[in-house]
Structure 1
Amino acid sequence: MSAKVYTLDEVAKHNTKDDCWLIIGGKVYNVTKFLEDHPGGDDVLLSSTAKDATDDFEDVGHSNTARAMMDEYLVGEIDATTIPTKVKYTPPKQPHYNQDKTPEFVIKILQFLVPLAILGLAVVVRIYTKSESA
C-alpha cells in the first residue's frame, strides 16, 4: 500500500490547535494530538504549519526518541513540486555605511589641525614664559 500524497495547499489547511499538520523531510505528519505534549509548546508547532518545516525541525536538534515518535503521526507524503523553491537572499547594493557618521574630510582636517594647534600652543607658552622671566 502506497502512502497518500498531499499538496502544500492541502496540508496548509491544517493549521489550527484542533487540526495541525506539519511537513518534515518530505513527509506529512498530523501532530494535533501531540500539541499539548510538545516540550517547546504548541505555538512552536503551529508556527511551522503551511510550509516545509524540515529546517525548523533540524535546527532544534531533536533526539532519536523524538524522531522515533514521528512514525505514529505520519499520514502521508508531500508532493515536492507544490512547495515553492527557496530563493537565495541577495542584499541590495548600498553605499558604504560610515558607522561614526563623521565625514572623512572632517577627520583629515582634524588630523592636520590638532597637531598644528598643539605646536602653536607650545610656541605661545614658550614665548610667554620667556617674557615673564625677562
Structure 2
Amino acid sequence: MGVESKVFTYSDVSAHKTSDDCWVIINGKVYNVTSYLDEHPGGDEVILGQAGNDASQEFEDVGHGSAARLMLDEFYVGEVDSTTKVEVVDSPPVVAKDSGVKPEESTKFLHFLLSLGILGLALGVLLFNFSR
C-alpha cells in the first residue's frame, strides 16, 4: 500500500460490479479484484456475488488465512468513506451471468475445501508427531 490513500464512496465502489471491472470492500479497504476472478479457488461467482459491495463478513466467514490477507495488498486501490454507506433492504445477490452454479453450491464447495484443508493439516500434525 502506498503512502497516500485514495478515498472512495460506497457509490463509487458499487459502479464496479462486473466480471470486466470488479471491486470489493473488505474491512474498510477497496480492492480491484478483476484480474483475480479467474484465479480464485472458490470460483469467480463467489467474488462476483459481492462485487461492488462490502464483502467483509463473507471474507471473514470463509476463514481466509494470512496468505489470502497478504494477497489483498496486490489489489488495493484505496479506502472507503464509511459515512457514505446507505443501507439497502432486500437487495438480491449478483451472480455471474451463465455461471451454471447456484450460490448455495459454491458455499457447499467452499465448506468442503475448508474441511479437506483441516483434515490435511490434522493428518500432517499426526504424521509429524508419529515420526518423532
For normalisation by structure 1, the TM-score amounts to 0.61
Displacement of 1:2: 2.0
Find the aligned partners of 1:33 and 1:27 in 2 and give their Cα distance. 17
Q: How many residues align?
A: 87
SS of structure 1 residue aligned to 2:31: strand
Q: Is the 8 A contact 2:13 2:23 kept in 1?
A: yes
Q: Give the 5 Å matches for 1:118-133.
A: none
Q: Percent of pairs identical after alignment? A: 54
Deviation track 1:62-120 (CA, whole Å, cap 9, x = no partner) reads: 01111110001000000001113599xxxxxxxxxxxxxxxxxxxxxxxxxxxxxxxxx
Report whether the alignment pairs 1:60 with 2:82. Answer: no
CA RMSD for the aligned pairs? 1.6
Select the structure with the greater relative contact order (CA < 8 A; seq sep ≥ 6).
2
- Residue 86 and residue 16 in structure 1: after superposition, are their counterparts in 2 closer, same or farther (change >3 A)? closer
Displacement of 1:32: 0.4
Runs of 4+ in 1 over 2 A off after TM superposition: 84-87
| Structure 2 spans left out of the alignment, 5+ residues | 90-132
Which residue, out of 24, 27, 38, partners 1:22?
Answer: 24
Higher CA-based Rg: 1
Displacement of 1:3: 0.3
